[in-house]
């Protein structure tokens, strides 16, 4: 199993929207590095749902339900979609400030490449953030 972080602006698609829908295709990714990360995702991988822009924080955990497939709205076929479903909300939101304050997390794409919307999370960082969030990873 691999671990990931995916950002969403709350005005576009919030954690509550995912919970209400029960599943969604993750779209709107138009960055080649983020798309490459999505191509590496496998069914069962775990994903942090990260609320960006307003009070940025990890707010939930999702699971990849369908691996990368072509985006029918992309005629150049440069980008892909993945389907995700909610697993659980976090007990304690983990803010970007908290993540940046922990030197063990300084290597994360979220910290080093702040505009990257889909990034890998290593197993140790996943466990650290889950601990901060008050959830079992």
- Mean of the per-residue pLDDT values of the chain: 93
- The class level of CATH for 3-133 reads alpha beta
The pLDDT tens digits of the residues spanning 58-80 come to: 999 999 999 999 888 877 777 89
Q: What's the whole-model pTM score?
A: 0.94
Measured between alpha carbons, how far is 64 from 57 in angstroms, rounded to an integer?
A: 20
The pLDDT tens digits of the residues spanning 78-124 come to: 789 999 999 999 999 999 999 999 999 999 999 998 888 999 999 99
Domain ranges of the chain: 3-133
Helix (H, G, I), strand (E, B) or coil at 107: coil
Structure tokens given for 110: 């979220």
Cα 54-129-88 angle, rounded to 5 deg = 75
Instruction: Check if the beta carbon of residue 126 is closer than 8 Å to that of residue 44.
Output: no
Residues whose CB is less than 8 angstroms from the CB of residue 127 and which lie 6 or more positions away in sequence, other chains included: 137
Would you state the pLDDT for residue 85? 98
Residue 133: band (very low, low, confident or very high) from pLDDT cuts 50, 70, 90 = very high
Would you state the pLDDT for residue 6? 96
End-to-end CA distance of the chain: 12
């Amino acid at each position: 199993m691999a671990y990931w972080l995916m950002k969403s602006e709350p005005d576009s698609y919030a954690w509550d929207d995912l919970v209400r829908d029960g599943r969604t295709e993750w779209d709107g990714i138009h960055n080649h590095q983020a798309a490459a990360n999505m191509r590496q995702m496998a069914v069962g991988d775990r994903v942090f749902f990260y609320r960006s822009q307003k009070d940025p924080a990890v707010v939930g955990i999702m699971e990849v339900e369908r691996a990368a497939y072509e985006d029918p709205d992309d005629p150049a076929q440069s980008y892909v979609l993945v389907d995700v479903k909610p697993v659980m909300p976090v007990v304690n939101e983990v803010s970007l400030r908290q993540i940046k304050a922990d030197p063990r997390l300084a290597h994360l794409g979220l910290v080093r490449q702040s505009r990257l919307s889909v990034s890998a999370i290593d197993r140790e960082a996943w466990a650290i953030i889950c601990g901060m969030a008050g959830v079992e990873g």
